[in-house]
Structure 1
Amino acid sequence: MVHRVVVLALDGVIPFELGIPQRIFKIARNLGPVGEGEPLYDVATCSVRPPGPVQTDADYSVVIRNGPEALAGADTVVIPASYELGPVHDEGRLTGELATAFARIRPGTRLVAICTGGYVLAAAGRLDGRPATTHWASADHFQRLFPKVRVDPDVLFVDDGDVLTSAGVAAGIDLCLHLVRRDHGTAVANDVARRTVVPPHRDGGQRQFVQRPVPEPRFATTTAARAWALTRLDRPIQLRDMAERESMSVRTFTRRFREEAGISPGQWITQQRVEHARRLLESSGLTVDQIARQSGFGTATSLRQHFQAALGVPPTVYRRTFRATTDVRG
């Protein structure tokens, strides 16, 4: 029996995310000897209102042919991100339209959220006590708004059985491919990935994409020490030398540094070395051994350990994903 997927398009929906489940599920075909080539999913899009235009976050609207009644027949409901969630995003509560639409969903229906679509599931109480993820830039706000949800900001998606959530934007592709793999096996999922021209599985999680600058200090009493350390990341940096730059004892400097930066001097130095290695992996042709020396880790083994701990992937995988190239051919 064909699995019915209904995608809920809300005002301000991101067109790219709206198209992900349409593309991934619609091209999934039976590869077995019986019924080969037959579609495995039936995909429809609906609105919380009667059929009509829904404004996207771009400069155009999309015409939705189904109203909220389509949700009643869904085996899986997918909620892409929207930039106009209103009280869902600001107060953690559903609008009247959304609450009425959600009431149509049958018990046992699989619920899937892409990116900040997870706000809708959380506001509906469907994520209480469950693990979930969302776009890394929204993770802290999401956790504050929904303290009952166990937010993991580092992963590309979370599969909690009948409720699944993904990280930002393109992670929706990873999640939908995962669902195809879960429903119909690796061969079908790989076939969909090949025809979509995306990898069937991505290494690592969100951490490799996150920009995490050190918080700006509230009081500039350790600025000189930090500026000095940044000029010598490739060499040993002693805590007492940093303290001397600010004419402080090691104990006072450590306390002030933690108050201002939110982390210890040692953690900050490691963080800066990882960031330096990250930039070199993206922009240079240096070997991993050379980058390890230039970033102050000394050996490739030490670099790999710290890089993996910070970003969730080894340096070689990160370089394959982010390395800039001047030889781009269409």
Structure 2
Amino acid sequence: MSLRLDSDFWSARMSYLAKLARADAIAVVLQMKDDGYVTYVAHNLPSETSWRSGAPAVLLGKAFAERVNAEVSGGVAMRLADGRMADAIAVAPVVWKDQLVGALVALVVGRPIGPEDLAGLGRVAELVGLELAEANALWRAQRQQQDAETKLKANRDLQAIIHRERDPNQLLERTTAQLAEVFGADGVSIMLADAQGELSVRSSKGLSDAAKQDRKRIGEGISGKVAQTGKAMLLSGHVQGGSDPTASESMIAPLRAGGRTLGVVNVKHHAAQEKYGQAQVDSLAQAASDIAAALLTAEEFQRAEEDRRQALVLYELSR
């Protein structure tokens, strides 16, 4: 590994860059598809610092979308690692060979950020470009490998639950929780149809109380249409008639096995960035099919156990 990618290098480098930028804290922030704005390396900032709301999110949005320097002086109130509160924040895009590779964030205590400060931060961002371009490529590759390994393990755990769980209720609860992990979802629900063809939520994670009470007939609404057609769907943005207006993307797949549609599974997230595509839809559809088959098996096993218990009771009574 080269010196540029060494953590000691970055620690010393960020301290030096903070002095150049006349900042009390400084950070290199990357924009990740699944996680939004993520701190890559920082000086004098707590590890839990978030960039997802308020002035930081607005300024980072401008930096990544418009490639412009921007600042907010006053009312920022971001805590630094040394315990002080920053009053002002500035962001400059980090560009290398016309490629946007990140953003440089500067935080200042006790004074506003002026035009000279903003211009200076832009010059410092230019210095970061080469190091960040090299480090960013390696970091993203490592992150993708870690994500792939995590998802592979989550899928294996899901299949283990599907193949081993014999209690229908436990099967639904455990697969619901595992689907949230597999797809990085904020909400998952499994709806089953009753004898009258009405779908109701039987298991959920991350749903509101109102959403848990949702009922749909086969053919009614999005869930009902998926149950009727047997075709999985991917939805983006606000969906008219949807049970969660805050969901940015949703996938709905039918629970089909043995020529029957047992219900549907719904997976959603609230992140601004797109997470799901056709590959994820196909993966959910396959998982839903496996869950449906396992549910039929579990219900048959449960009935067999109940028949066995009743037979034992009758045998004891007949003695």
User: Fold-level match, TM-score > 0.5?
Assistant: no
TM-score, L = length of structure 1: 0.26
Which one has a bigger Cα radius of gyration?
A: 2
TM-score, L = length of structure 2: 0.27
Q: Could you say which structure has the higher strand fraction?
A: 2
